[in-house]
Homo-oligomer: A and B are copies of this chain.
Amino acid sequence: MTFNPPVKSLDNLLSQFQAVRSYSLNICAPLEAEDFVVQPIIDVSPPKWHLGHTTWFFENFILLPQLEDYQLFDERLNYFFNSYYESQGPRILRSNRGNITRPGLDRILEYRQHVDQHLIAFLERQEDGILSKNIYDLIELGLHHEQQHQELLYTDIKYILGHNPIHPIYKAKTSIDTATARPAQWLALEAGVYEIGHDGTGFCFDNELGRHKTYIQDCLLQDRLVTNGEYLEFIEAGGCQQFEHWLSDGWEWLKGLDQRAPEYWFQQDGSWWQFTLHGLEKLDPNVPVTHISYYEADAYARWRGYRLPTEQEWEVACRKYSPELTTKRGFAEAEQHHPEVAQEGDYQFFGHTWEWTGSAYLAYPGYPRLKGALGEYNGKFMINQMVLRGGSCATSTSHIRLTYRNFFQADKRWQFTGIRLAKDA
């Protein structure tokens, strides 16, 4: 299994640090100055905020406590770029991020450079390439934290461009997809006691700990994601007009939409179109449906007579059927900036969409909520959110893990979210 390449030597950490930090800037390369500033909905942060906040993480949690003589680059930026850490003092209201024009992008790029230089120098000063585990872990956490924000950069940029009536293109398409989705098959799981959760080797977030036993019933999971074409059948059959498929909250949510279809779908002149990072395109029925809420995923599954897998079923099935991350994915390497048609032998567990599970985001048995700032990373959000598994086309390959627990509220759909069907055996 290669999801967590061991990164014990400092050399490795240094090169990882440089790679991850520069990739954030690469993501922003196609943007115009104005794109860096706005916050059209509260979930979306201005791209320049992401660039600043990921830098703040390293300054605030590593440079400041570790370097005796470290001077803050700018005291005010410490206030600007705290996200939600109550323990780290006051901060700009989340809803106010899109109103802050200064410091401008140039200043934030200087901030990045300043922090990077100090952090690299700090690493290079360590004798014999040995670093205390505590600091090593913090830097590694900072890199994974930045990779989370890289995915947010993609989805937030998509939201900013996709809600502009002009529909600007983020990246031009170089080839056209002509593949056809294969018929879905069922992957079987046998009832019994299984172990799930991270085993503690290599990096993981605290919420994946500890590894524990769980009982799984006999069940079946589909061997690929639900496609646009399949979801369109649901719409055309009137499924979005029939309350009986929907959760009560979902039905109310649906009534508030301008249009009862996935985010970024548009109906024009009798055809369906979809906004992607490649611009506005005719809807491709073969690629996985994405940008849907839990409510939509759940209603679609019920309409088909199926259900969503639990996160336990998902992890056990993935471990059994797709333990290796076989295809290189992630926008860093990919031509396509959108989920693709499942290739032969790819069960699409990784690299296309995050998959809504039927499990609420709660603590694993034995989960110890950390003290201090890092205790605010995951534990305090364990209410009213559903777990998503896998990893999307916007997730960096080195950030994907079989035990990864992503989580969002049931109405969120600006991420690359999708559906895998399951049923009792």
Task: Give A residues with C-beta under 8 Å from B.
Answer: 32-40, 48, 76, 79-80, 84, 86-87, 92, 96, 98-105, 160-161, 163-166, 168, 191, 193, 212-215, 217, 243-244, 246-251, 294-295, 298, 302, 307, 358-360, 362-363, 365-366, 369, 371, 375-376, 380-384, 410, 424
Contact = CB atoms under 8 A, between A and B. Distances in A.
B383 A102 contact: no
Copies of this chain present: 4
A246 B101 CA distance: 33
Given A164-B100, A369-B302, A384 B384 contact: yes
Contacts of A363: 307, 358
A282 B3 CA distance: 59
B38 A36 contact: no
Contacts of A193: 193, 215
Nearest to A248: B380
A405 B165 CA distance: 36
Contacts of A100: 38, 164-165
Do most interface residues of chain A lie in helix, strand or loop, or is the interface mixed?
A: mixed
B381 A247 contact: yes
A351 to B, nearest CB: 28
B365 A163 contact: no
A34 B36 contact: yes
Contacts of A76: 165-166
A160 B99 contact: yes
B102 A34 contact: yes
B215 A215 contact: yes
Given A32-B104, A213-B217, 19 more contacts: A33-B33, A34-B37, A37-B101, A38-B38, A38-B101, A40-B99, A76-B165, A79-B165, A80-B165, A86-B244, A102-B164, A244-B371, A247-B380, A247-B381, A247-B383, A248-B376, A307-B363, A358-B362, A384-B410
Contact of A165 (B92, B160, B251, B384): B92
B217 A366 contact: yes
Contacts of A191: 213
A98 B215 contact: no
A59 to B, nearest CB: 18
A103 B166 contact: yes
